[in-house]
Amino acid sequence: MRGMNDLVRQAQIMQKKISKLQEELAEREVEGAAGGGMVTVKASCNQEVRSIAIDRTVVDPEDVEMLQDLVLAAVNEALKTAKETQQKEMQALTGGMNIPGMF
């Protein structure tokens, strides 16, 4: 019975650590860029886009599609970096154990 109690206690400790990490990741920002930095996107590591900055020189009313592509590329880069950061931090916390549903 003692072994089971130790296991439950360890699981509770791990759950608290994971919750704390999730809170920290929600505050941490990463950045994605496109067009040589003409469009930059900041996102939290829980994959929430926080800001988009567009250099004035890339705004061309005659070529809206290019601007759309740049924004899309920058957003995708920021979200990819956020996800990779999440996974890296979670693996470091769990010792590489894959815990389904965490991220």
Tokens of 87: 């996974």
pLDDT reading at 45 higher than 80: yes
Tokens of 96: 């590489």
pLDDT reading at 102 higher than 60: no
Q: Which CATH number fits domain 2-94: 3.90.550.10, 2.40.170.20, 3.30.1310.10, 3.40.50.720?
A: 3.30.1310.10
Measured in whole angstroms, the distance separating CA 37 from the mean position of its chain's CA atoms is 19
Tell me the pTM.
Answer: 0.79
Domain spans of the chain, in order of start:
2-94
Q: Tell me the per-residue pLDDT of 6-39, one tens digit each, with 9 for 90 and over.
A: 888 888 988 899 899 999 999 999 999 999 999 9
